[in-house]
Amino acid sequence: MVKTAGTFASIFALAVVAPVSVHAQEAQNAAAADEGAIIVTAQRRAEAQVDVPISITNLSSDALKTASVQQLADIGKVTPALRFDFAGGFFQPTIRGIGTAVTTSGGGGNVGIYIDGFYSPNPLAADFDLISVNSIQVLKGPQGTLFGRNTTGGAILVTTREPSTSGNAFEGRVTYGRYNEAKAEAFTNYVISDRVALSLEGQYRRGNGWQRDISNDDRRVGDYENWSFRLGLKAELTDTVDVLLRYKHGQVDDPSTMLASSLDTSDFGLGAPFGGVPGTYTTAKNRIASGSVPEVFRSNTDVVQGTIRADLGFADLTSYSQYRSENSFMSQDLDYSGLDLFQLGLPNLNETWSQELLLTSKAGPKLQWTAGLFYFQNTDTYITYINNGGNAPDQRIRLGGSSTTVRSYAAFLDATYEITPQLFLTAGARYSIDKIVDAYWNQQFLLTEMPVPNISNNKLTPRVVLRYKPTDRTSIYASFTKGYKAAISDVGGSCQIPDTNYTCNRVQPEDINAYEVGFKYEDRGLSFEAAGFYYDYKNLQVSIYRTGTAEIINAATSEIYGLEGALHYQVTPAFQINAGASYVHARYKRFNNAPVYVRCSELGEETAATCAANGITFVVVPTTLEDVTMQRTPEFTGFVGARYETDLAGGELALSGNLFYSSSFFFGPSGVQFKQGGYETLALRAQWNAPDDKFHVAVFGDNVTNSRYLTQAQYSSFGIGANWSKPVTYGVEFGVKF
């Protein structure tokens, strides 16, 4: 693996010094000029990337296709220092070592996901298929001033196509690939009048699973079916006011993140219950051993959004109004064997209201500013069931339940002043009030709701940036940003554990002080940027999985620093190359009571007997750790991508590929267990476009190296499970547009 890492580093170094351009950057700049992308830029106003003092990865729709990106989680293949992981069905992005490490009612994420300016808070519905996407921007580092709501790690901004009065249009494509995956998606735009347009988009994706269950006649498991549609209506009420209304409905039936074999790694050993009962477990990458109740993940999402834009002359006013209703259900075997020790059922209801007003100044000779008000309310409710002894689904035992209602209010102001034509000062601040106003829990058979005291946090999160622009094509900047993640009432965890006397932990807010220096250059298609960063990070919120509950604790102080860089460059008009890499040193300085999973058999006969009587194999031993790596944070990640175009049969043939590499890291919450070694993946694509660009045909392959790596390690007292990457996949695509 050292040889692989060295080879990859050499390729990246060669890419940096080679004389090359940037089709991807040109496409992204074009997307930024589109009216749908202006609002969701890094500083909430339209600016050239070279002038934005934030580390950003820009991905155009063409760049997403080149890297075989189908879902949001796939963008980690083309974004340095970004990982996407799952804990069961919970979506957990991580940027530069800072990511969501909690799964509980009201927990929220550390990386904010914004779709067309709207915050998407639910980790059970955050990953989605990408259709009609103009661009994706990944903002690295705390974004608390302009985006707020827990964005200590960063923010991901997805911009999609809007209805347009420029003309009727249709674009669609169908795909068929390995494991019988079939996908169809389409976008259509219809002009009703010179001021009103309608759009309709939709997607359908289904396929067979690639794993088999040794405990159930070796049957295939993991079949999935997802579909969604979105309706948009845009009306220009006057020359200065327009309204955009959207409704989306989506359904997901995909158990793949629930399916796990028993973990077996060099650092930990076998994770099967009771040391591994022959015939009841497997460590094979294409096999699982499950109990009598099948694994399930289903979700149903409805979203209503309204955007109003008004030109006030001196500034632009934008209103974002949103309602989201998301219902999901997951069922997972927490012993990861055929023994029927513990099957978890977890229904969830997540309801969100949000309103934001954004006022952005017109470009002035010296001063530009952005001000806003934000309101957010989210109710997150879970019911927990167990299914011991192979009970049928309708015979499940209610283990407990929890609910949290969070309200957040914020006001923010950010301004950039031109000190000289080459020197700019940016200063901003956000004042946030986060309240848990209604929280409760209940425990097995006790349906009475047990209220929990309210929690209120008030926080000021400032940022200061000094930017020097020696030429029109170059920027150098230094920044300080403060971020925080609100406190949590652990209603889904410690409240329901007998060992804690059913006392709810109040999990303290996270705090981060972030320092960054960066350099950006863009000229004649060449785009290059590099950044160095240092984070002082306190009170990380971390999940500990015990007997069916996820207890939340605070880790102590952490330190993160690193370097990253990215380039987009063009050799000739027909050939482009892009690359990126990051080095992240992320350590817990001191982690008191760090959760370390230990086999009961290693703790003496009395403990082993007690564990056996309760059907558990592992216990969490609180341990003081110093200078250990943070969870899910590889030191090195990088990618190299290329695209070559040539004439063929009157049309154009485009050949593209993307190679991604990650060094080793640990999945365990303490940073010392459940290791994944370094790995690489390769995506390839060949696409022929017709002479009139009305249709295209493509063949593609993903994970062509057939790398088999852990996508998550799932840990509980009953067993330690391993979710493995999908094997190599390939397929064909046909698309039309007119």
Rounded CA-CA distance 598/584 in Å is 29
Residue-wise pLDDT for 627-638, tens only, equals 999 989 999 999
- Residues 321-338 have a mean pLDDT of 92
Report which DSSP code applies to 717: S
Asked if residue 617 has pLDDT above 80, the reply is yes
Question: DSSP readout, 28-95?
Answer: HHHHHHSHHHHTTSTTSS---GGG--SEEEEEEHHHHHHTT--BGGGGGGGSTTEEEEEETTEEEEEE
- Do residues 497 and 549 touch, judged by C-beta distance below 8 A? yes
pLDDT of 148 higher than 80: no
* 444 has a pLDDT exceeding 90: no
Q: What is the mean pLDDT of residues 207-231?
A: 95
pLDDT tens-digit map of 582-607: 999 999 988 888 889 999 999 999 99
Alpha helices in 244-313 (DSSP H): none
Say how far apart CA 563 and CA 374 lie, in whole Å: 33
User: Residue 35: which domain range?
Assistant: 2-737
Q: How confident is the model at residue 345 (pLDDT cuts 50, 70, 90)?
A: confident
Alpha-carbon distance 223 to 220, whole Å? 8
| CA torsion angle 147 148 153 159 (round to 10) | -30
Give residue 391's pLDDT.
Answer: 43
Q: How far apart are CA 277 and CA 738, in angstroms?
A: 60
Output the CA–CA distances (angstroms, integers) from residue 19 to 10, 374, 528, in the order listed: 16, 46, 12
Percent of the chain exceeding pLDDT 90 equals 62
What integer pLDDT is reported at residue 549 of this predicted model? 63
pLDDT the model gives residue 31: 39
pLDDT tens readout for residues 247-299: 999 999 999 999 999 999 988 999 999 999 999 999 999 999 988 788 899 99
β-pair type (343-361, 315-333): antiparallel
Read off φ and ψ for residue 707, nearest 5 degrees.
-70, 135
Question: Quick one: pLDDT at residue 399?
Answer: 75
C-alpha gyration radius of the chain:
25
User: How far is Cα 709 from Cα 724, in angstroms, rounded to an integer?
Assistant: 6
Number of domains in the chain: 1
β-pairing verdict for 111-115 and 154-160: parallel
**CATH code of the domain in which 324 resides:** 2.40.170.20
Picking from 313-327, 420-434, 438-452, which range would have the lowest pLDDT averaged per residue? 438-452
Q: Does pLDDT of 184 surpass 90? A: yes
pLDDT of residue 29 exceeding 60, the answer is no
pLDDT of residue 124: 66
Maximum C-alpha span of the chain: 80
Q: What is the band of 25 on the pLDDT scale with cuts at 50, 70, 90?
A: very low
More confidently predicted of 455 and 503: 455
301 token code pair: 């999402």
Could you list the beta-strand ranges (E) of 396-540: 397-420, 423-443, 446-451, 455-471, 474-485, 488-489, 506-507, 510-523, 526-538
Q: Which two tokens stand for residue 74?
A: 């796939």
- Give the pLDDT confidence score for residue 16 in this predicted structure: 34
pLDDT at residue 679 tops 90: yes
How many whole angstroms separate alpha carbon 385 and alpha carbon 400? 7
Tell me what pLDDT residue 34 has.
37
Residue 41: pLDDT band with limits 50, 70, 90: confident
Q: What are phi and psi of 198, to 5 degrees?
A: -125, 140
Q: How far apart are CA 669 and CA 632, in angstroms?
A: 9
- Residues 456-468 have a mean pLDDT of 95
Q: How many angstroms separate the CA atoms of 155 and 692, rounded?
A: 38
Number of H helices and number of E strands within the chain?
Answer: 5, 46
Position 388 scores a pLDDT of: 56
**Looking at the predicted structure, is the pLDDT value of residue 5 above 60?**
no
Better-scored residue on pLDDT, 446 or 573: 573
**Surface-to-core class of residue 114, CB atoms within 10 Å of its CB (0-12 exposed, 13-18 middle, 19+ buried):** buried
Instruction: Report the predicted TM-score, pTM, of the whole model to 2 decimal places.
Output: 0.90
Distances (CA, A) of 615 to 340, 436, 481, 543, 716: 10, 36, 48, 22, 12
Does residue 291 or residue 236 have the better pLDDT?
A: 236
* Contact criterion met (CB below 8 Å) for 616 and 718: yes
Q: Encode burial over 579-616: b for 16+ CB neighbours within 10 A, e otherwise.
A: bbbbbbebbbbebebbbbbebbeeeeeeeeeebeeebb
Stretch 523-540: mean pLDDT: 92
Residue 655: the pLDDT is 97
Q: Are 538 and 527 in contact (CB under 8 A)?
A: no
Contact 387, 397 (CB under 8 A): yes
- Compute CA distances 386 → 331, 548, 657, 713, whole Å: 9, 8, 46, 21
Q: Calculate mean pLDDT across residues 688-695.
A: 94
pLDDT reported for residue 497: 65
Q: What is the mean pLDDT of residues 611-623?
A: 89
The burial class, CB within 10 Å (0-12 / 13-18 / 19+), for 218 is exposed
CB 32, CB 46: distance < 8 Å:
yes
- The neighbour count for residue 503, using CB atoms within 10 Å, is 11
> What is the DSSP code (8-state) at residue 345?
E
CB atoms within 10 A of CB 694: 11
Report the C-alpha gap between 187 and 426 in whole angstroms.
40
Check residue 3 and give its pLDDT.
42
CA distance 324 to 118: 10
Banded pLDDT at 448 (limits 50, 70, 90): low
Ordered alpha helix ranges (H), 330-468: none
Give the separation between CA 26 and CA 527, rounded to whole angstroms: 10
Q: What is the mean pLDDT of the chain?
A: 87
Q: How many CB atoms lie within 10 A of CB 423?
A: 12
668 secondary structure, DSSP code: S
In 10 A of CB 570, how many CB atoms?
23
Quote the tokens at residue 311. 């030109």
How would you label 457-488 residue by residue, b for 16+ Cβ within 10 Å and e otherwise? bebebebebbbebeeeeebebebebbbbbbbb
SS3 356: strand
Q: What spatial distance separates the first Cα and last Cα of the chain, rounded to whole Å?
A: 48
Residue 55 CB coordination number (10 Å): 29
Distance CA 150, CA 165 (A): 37
State the pLDDT at residue 28. Answer: 39
